[in-house]
Amino acid sequence: MRLALIGYGEVGRILAEDLRSRATVVAFDIKLVGAASPASESMRSHAREHGIGLADSHAAAVRDADLVVSAVTASQAVAVAQACAGGLKRGAFVLDFNSASPGAKVRAAGIVSAAGGRYVEGAVMTSVPPYRVKVPLLLGGPDAAALLPVLDALGFAARLSSERLGVASATKMCRSVMIKGLEAMVIEALTAARHYGVEDAVIASLQETFPAIDWEKQGAYFFQRVIEHGRRRSEEVREVAATVREAGLEPWSASGTAERQAWVADLADAGVFGARGAEGFARSADWRVEADRILAQLKKES
């Protein structure tokens, strides 16, 4: 099998590592185009280390591919479908991993179908790194059932959601109102608590109300995930907001979450959390370290 990965960031590289022994893997990422950068050099180094071929365009990557996995930022899901359409071979599967709204998935499916491909929406139901290729994955669309045995053979942990496009992504997007919203709320609540010196009391109260959650550990995890991936997450939550809006509701919670995630991403880009290396920011086991950096920056700006 020949497999094309569109998007060679964190998710793309994890999939490349896990799938290279079962398929010929070729990857493309827009960051590989143009002048060299730390991100592009990290991608090239990873590809050399793991024997992954790198293409110089979307069309070149998907040419002759039996399966294309699109794993880019949420706002680019439809644009990537358009960019790949011209190179698809007839009957190739396109698995859309992106956290896009049901409406965006339907638009991407129309583009792929018109080019002779078979579009399948994939809703990734939790963070990829802990599970890798075994991350829980919902499949949707009329060609989902045909793709399922292919993914099983490759080692994915996929299951069918619906033959109707949009159902799988709606499931993920509605979940993300809660999950991504919780990330934003924890960062906001704990940073403010740190300012007032009441963080220990807040943590103790949360622990009493939700004893199954280790709030110290969860807080550190949320801070680091948003610091490292806030830009991507904010784009995803804008798609979440679009999903809520498509249902006829004003997405007040999702819109606020997107703003908080983007705000943290802006701080990260400004170097508030230290220099970003090839593997991202250094992880702290204590969320207080990052909260103090945020508060120090706010003090500078006041």
Instruction: Give the whole-angstrom CA distance, residue 121 versus residue 133.
Output: 16
Check whether residue 188 and residue 77 sit in a common domain.
Answer: no
Residue-number span of the structural domain to which 250 is assigned: 169-301
Check whether residue 17 and residue 145 sit in a common domain.
Answer: yes
Single residue among 163, 178, 209 that ends a domain in this structure: 163
Which CATH number covers residue 177? 1.10.1040.10
The reported pLDDT for the residue numbered 281 is 58
Which CATH number covers residue 105? 3.40.50.720
Q: φ, ψ for residue 35 (rounded to 5)?
A: -65, 150
Check whether residue 78 and residue 137 sit in a common domain.
Answer: yes
Task: Write down the residue that tokens 């179908």 correspond to.
Answer: 113
Check whether residue 291 and residue 201 sit in a common domain.
Answer: yes
Q: Are 104 and 73 in contact (CB under 8 A)?
A: no
What is the distance between the terminal CA atoms of the chain, rounded to a whole angstrom?
57
Check whether residue 142 and residue 223 sit in a common domain.
Answer: no
Check whether residue 138 and residue 185 sit in a common domain.
Answer: no
Single residue among 163, 187, 206 that ends a domain in this structure: 163
- How many Cβ atoms from other residues are within 10 Å of residue 226's Cβ? 25
Single residue among 148, 163, 178 that ends a domain in this structure: 163
Check whether residue 43 and residue 134 sit in a common domain.
Answer: yes
Question: Mean pLDDT by 10-residue block, N- to C-terminus, for the chain (302 residues)?
Answer: 95 96 96 90 95 95 96 90 95 94 94 97 91 96 97 96 94 94 97 98 97 95 92 92 94 97 94 69 80 95 90
Closest CA to 165 of 196, 142, 193: 142
Q: Are 172 and 140 in contact (CB under 8 A)?
A: no
The reported pLDDT for the residue numbered 74 is 82
Structure tokens at 26: 């070729």
- Name the domain count of the chain: 2
The reported pLDDT for the residue numbered 202 is 98
Check whether residue 50 and residue 71 sit in a common domain.
Answer: yes
Check whether residue 224 and residue 261 sit in a common domain.
Answer: yes
Check whether residue 47 and residue 23 sit in a common domain.
Answer: yes
Check whether residue 287 and residue 260 sit in a common domain.
Answer: yes
Check whether residue 189 and residue 159 sit in a common domain.
Answer: no
Q: Are 48 and 25 in contact (CB under 8 A)?
A: no
